[in-house]
Chains A and B, each alone.
Chain A
């Protein structure tokens, strides 16, 4: 290709995982012609391709699918709708005026002028280094997702005797996978007093296989200069610091880490998109639009989700909004009133979206959030400015599971002076 001829697309979607696929489909169905998905891996589907366990799609398709099957439902639609995509293509840069620079083996480095951009880059795992775990740095320490790729895609076993730190969903899934593949998973240690994963995964991946989960525990030493030989875990106090005397040493050859996912927003940050320090994802409005008009975000690059069904749903909204943006341009001028801020406080950690333009919203808007601790028999309360408009009792809420409320457009239109909607968790 010639370096000087810049191609143009209505919508460029960065990432062909569940979010990017759903966004593309929805944008096409909303009438956008020229859509291009840029995917860094060798096939569409993203991380779902290595999630060979089932449990996907219960909400979307009312059936239990594996990760690749769930992805395939969307990939088939991408084919059927003749949506263009490029594989093995890395996006290197996104500029503020929506010039996307990407690279692959056949096209070289090229630039595309996009009418709108949808960010769907997903997330990465927090590495050992970020946790400052002391000890040696031998082979045999993997993030759970890397181990999952080795086992499920490459067909190799990262080890035989395993300790897992962190009870995020991938770690729990890998505890079961490694067990099924013949490895011995000795323990899952979790720093927090609660699991970071879904309850159903704790039951199906740990309890069913007799793998102990030790809450309020962390790794305090890694032995082995070349390959992991042993891992010592210890109980932590309320300050999350190890309590001397509680150390337990496990001989093992592998330490898997499932200690958190971080949205991959290096590209977003570079082009001036404002990031929420809590989610590490962009601040978005009701249309999943970032602070840069015409740049949208969805999926795990926006905030880490518990279920892919919610990713698809959210990404569908982003695709639709991007299509509208391409057709109508920026809608700021048409807004008849100030936007409403969404505030999460008192146990609620964040909300997506974080701002609402009532004129632009659909009749119903799902607002997702997470809580910062485990709450039993507590209330989700919603305040319109000072007035409490919702007070809903929940049997249990936990940080590992997303919560949601649904806002009605007509209720917001009834209150032209409304400035702030606050979500808080209340004990009574």
Chain B
């Protein structure tokens, strides 16, 4: 089959583009090397919708961040994704650097942010807003429109909605090679994409491959780009610490990024991180003792007495840092019909709705696309019984008793929610897939109690043998076999 558009990567950029393009009469598919959407860069980041004052004025980053933030309320509402504008404070603790706050304000204005969405606060004002900030705070830049979002659900919702509107998704499908080809019938130039699951043909390729985007770009272009995986570690704290700060607390930015932040998450935990370490390994999402130490120490400079005994997990993510430090979005000069969406590092999540919009507009103009009449941009998320009244909840349980059985104690997630996560479009097929969609296993016991039960549900609903149930696809199998099977094999 010849696709009009093949998108490489089912992260938040690829999924946002897929959703926006699904408005038009096009045959589109997304190729993803992992078993699910949201498995790369989108999976592990600060989960912030940045206000847009940070990126350099005139850059793609600035433009798309500001636009993405503007779009986020509507998209979160259309797609039923948790999002809240909690405001951000860029904290200054050094009297010599206080000028930096004004620079942020000025850049915010230059980037097109409304003047009344920003404020420079003195010490008293900022401590009144955030009493747990460091004694050393001398002032802060307050960006009122900064927000927090669930990156998993934003990505998942965009992909689901694209899927419902006709976009095919192929998982466990790693692109190995891309070459130009010609359709024998018409002589039309197309792309032939070789994957571990066979060949795909496309008129257009959109390269949204995160830390691998340079690999694919460089397959088709003589003008090379270079992406460095820039690793950042995080610690996630228990909900009990979720109110320790109510705003997202940044340090004044340095050249390696926005520094270590402390923020509540949309689900009520507290998140600290990231550091920034350039590495070689594009799969190098391991944490290191030094990295964790660094973020704990740096977070402690802005926020005092952080309750680090409340940590429930730590993790690391990779930013796709391109040498030019800007988003590279557009048709590749010497490779027509190959569209890059590369170098999508922070503020990539914030910009994602705008990235989708920008690429779709570009394609629409180029190809004179006609919109579908029956496009539906709304998506209903997984029902959250905890938000219902007791009467509503009981009506639900009478109809679907699975909503009366708690599977994840820590987050109070019911079997009904897990069934929904499995059976909806692009449903979960692994423990992590269930976790990212429902939060089952994301609480303080970190899936100690619920993983055997979730495994049982995956086994029952999808007919996957226990031995083949994975944490997150591939070789991440959870059990090695039945008991007693191991005997006699080593003799």
**Chain B residues, Cβ within 8 Å of A145:** 448
Asked whether, in the complex, the Cβ of B397 is within 8 Å of the Cβ of A109, the reply is yes
The answer, yes or no, to whether A3 is at the interface (CB within 8 Å) is yes
Which of A65-73, A124-132, A417-425 contacts the other chain?
Answer: A124-132
- Interface flags for B277-316 (1: CB within 8 Å of A; 0: not) read 0000001011111011000000000000000000111110
Q: What range describes how many residues of B lie at the interface? A: 35 or more
17 contacts between A and B (CB under 8 A): A40-B409, A104-B405, A124-B448, A129-B236, A129-B314, A134-B288, A138-B476, A139-B470, A139-B471, A150-B479, A154-B466, A157-B480, A159-B480, A160-B480, A181-B483, A181-B484, A226-B472
Asked whether, in the complex, the Cβ of A146 is within 8 Å of the Cβ of B449, the reply is yes
Asked whether, in the complex, the Cβ of B481 is within 8 Å of the Cβ of A156, the reply is yes
**Set A127, A159, A227: member contacting B476, Cβ < 8 A:** A227
The answer, yes or no, to whether A376 is at the interface (CB within 8 Å) is no
Chain A, range 113-160, C-beta contacts under 8 Å to B: 124-125, 127-130, 132, 134-140, 142-143, 145-146, 149-151, 153-160
Bound-state CA distance A127–B451 (Å) is 13
Beyond the given A90-B409, A157-B481, A158-B480, could you list 4 further A-B residue pairs with CB under 8 A, ordered by the A residue number? Answer: A109-B404, A111-B390, A134-B287, A143-B448
Distance (whole angstroms) from the CB of A246 to the closest CB of chain B:
14
Asked whether, in the complex, the Cβ of A154 is within 8 Å of the Cβ of B452, the reply is yes
Distance (whole angstroms) from the CB of B373 to the closest CB of chain A:
42
**Chain B residues, Cβ within 8 Å of A242:** 289
Asked whether, in the complex, the Cβ of A127 is within 8 Å of the Cβ of B446, the reply is yes
Chain B, range 382-439, C-beta contacts under 8 Å to A: 390-391, 393-394, 397-398, 401-402, 404-406, 409-410, 412
| Total of A-B residue pairs, C-beta within 8 Å | 158
Distance (whole angstroms) from the CB of B77 to the closest CB of chain A:
28
The answer, yes or no, to whether A411 is at the interface (CB within 8 Å) is no
**Set B311, B401, B412, B478: member contacting A132, Cβ < 8 A:** B311
Asked whether, in the complex, the Cβ of A108 is within 8 Å of the Cβ of B397, the reply is yes
Q: State the 4 A-B residue pairs at the shortest beta-carbon distance, nearest first.
A: A129-B313, A182-B486, A127-B446, A139-B471
The answer, yes or no, to whether A103 is at the interface (CB within 8 Å) is yes
Asked whether, in the complex, the Cβ of B451 is within 8 Å of the Cβ of A146, the reply is yes
Chain B, range 443-482, C-beta contacts under 8 Å to A: 444-449, 451-452, 455-456, 466-467, 470-482
**Chain A residues, Cβ within 8 Å of B471:** 138-139, 226
Asked whether, in the complex, the Cβ of A3 is within 8 Å of the Cβ of B479, the reply is no
**Chain A residues, Cβ within 8 Å of B449:** 124, 146
The answer, yes or no, to whether A183 is at the interface (CB within 8 Å) is yes
Asked whether, in the complex, the Cβ of A181 is within 8 Å of the Cβ of B486, the reply is yes
**Set A107, A139, A151: member contacting B477, Cβ < 8 A:** A139
- Interface flags for B194-238 (1: CB within 8 Å of A; 0: not) read 000000000000000000000000000000000000000001100
**Chain B residues, Cβ within 8 Å of A269:** 240
**Chain A residues, Cβ within 8 Å of B365:** none
Distance (whole angstroms) from the CB of B54 to the closest CB of chain A:
29
Bound-state CA distance A130–B236 (Å) is 9
Chain A, range 219-253, C-beta contacts under 8 Å to B: 220-223, 225-227, 242, 253
Given the known inter-chain contacts A134-B286, A157-B483, please indicate yes or no for A129 contacting B312, CB distance below 8 A.
Answer: yes
Using CB atoms, name the residue of chain B closest to A131: B311
**Chain A residues, Cβ within 8 Å of B240:** 269
The answer, yes or no, to whether B99 is at the interface (CB within 8 Å) is no
Chain A, range 336-359, C-beta contacts under 8 Å to B: none
**Set B292, B391, B479: member contacting A134, Cβ < 8 A:** B292
Asked whether, in the complex, the Cβ of A125 is within 8 Å of the Cβ of B445, the reply is yes
The answer, yes or no, to whether B188 is at the interface (CB within 8 Å) is no
Chain A, range 175-214, C-beta contacts under 8 Å to B: 181-183
The answer, yes or no, to whether B96 is at the interface (CB within 8 Å) is no
Bound-state CA distance A221–B311 (Å) is 18
Distance (whole angstroms) from the CB of A51 to the closest CB of chain B:
16
Asked whether, in the complex, the Cβ of B404 is within 8 Å of the Cβ of A146, the reply is no
Distance (whole angstroms) from the CB of B43 to the closest CB of chain A:
11
Asked whether, in the complex, the Cβ of A182 is within 8 Å of the Cβ of B451, the reply is no
**Set A136, A146, A156, A253: member contacting B286, Cβ < 8 A:** A136
The answer, yes or no, to whether B334 is at the interface (CB within 8 Å) is no
**Set B393, B445, B474: member contacting A109, Cβ < 8 A:** B393
Given the known inter-chain contacts A103-B404, A109-B394, A159-B480, please indicate yes or no for A127 contacting B289, CB distance below 8 A.
Answer: no
The answer, yes or no, to whether B116 is at the interface (CB within 8 Å) is no
Given the known inter-chain contacts A3-B394, A105-B401, A129-B314, please indicate yes or no for A151 contacting B483, CB distance below 8 A.
Answer: yes
**Chain B residues, Cβ within 8 Å of A155:** 482-483
Asked whether, in the complex, the Cβ of B390 is within 8 Å of the Cβ of A3, the reply is yes
The answer, yes or no, to whether A309 is at the interface (CB within 8 Å) is no
Chain B, range 236-295, C-beta contacts under 8 Å to A: 236, 240, 283, 285-289, 291-292
Distance (whole angstroms) from the CB of A203 to the closest CB of chain B:
25
The answer, yes or no, to whether B485 is at the interface (CB within 8 Å) is yes
The answer, yes or no, to whether A306 is at the interface (CB within 8 Å) is no
Using CB atoms, name the residue of chain A closest to B44: A137
Given the known inter-chain contacts A40-B409, A109-B393, please indicate yes or no for A183 contacting B474, CB distance below 8 A.
Answer: no
Given the known inter-chain contacts A127-B446, A130-B312, A182-B487, please indicate yes or no for A135 contacting B287, CB distance below 8 A.
Answer: yes
Distance (whole angstroms) from the CB of B313 to the closest CB of chain A:
3
Bound-state CA distance A274–B470 (Å) is 41
- Interface flags for A240-270 (1: CB within 8 Å of B; 0: not) read 0010000000000100000000001010010
Distance (whole angstroms) from the CB of B374 to the closest CB of chain A:
38
Distance (whole angstroms) from the CB of A236 to the closest CB of chain B:
12
**Chain A residues, Cβ within 8 Å of B311:** 129-130, 132
Distance (whole angstroms) from the CB of A147 to the closest CB of chain B:
10
Bound-state CA distance A92–B403 (Å) is 13
Using CB atoms, name the residue of chain B closest to A181: B483
Asked whether, in the complex, the Cβ of A108 is within 8 Å of the Cβ of B480, the reply is no
Using CB atoms, name the residue of chain A closest to B467: A156
Most buried by B among A128, A132, A160, A181: A132
Using CB atoms, name the residue of chain A closest to B400: A105
**Set A90, A108, A127: member contacting B394, Cβ < 8 A:** A108
Using CB atoms, name the residue of chain B closest to A257: B448
Bound-state CA distance A354–B296 (Å) is 35
Using CB atoms, name the residue of chain B closest to A159: B480
Distance (whole angstroms) from the CB of A379 to the closest CB of chain B:
32
Bound-state CA distance A132–B471 (Å) is 20
Given the known inter-chain contacts A106-B404, A127-B445, A137-B315, please indicate yes or no for A225 contacting B283, CB distance below 8 A.
Answer: yes
Asked whether, in the complex, the Cβ of B313 is within 8 Å of the Cβ of A127, the reply is yes
Most buried by B among A1, A130, A153: A130
**Chain A residues, Cβ within 8 Å of B398:** 108
**Chain A residues, Cβ within 8 Å of B405:** 88, 90, 104-105
Distance (whole angstroms) from the CB of B39 to the closest CB of chain A:
11
Given the known inter-chain contacts A105-B397, A139-B471, A220-B289, please indicate yes or no for A92 contacting B412, CB distance below 8 A.
Answer: yes
**Chain B residues, Cβ within 8 Å of A138:** 471, 476
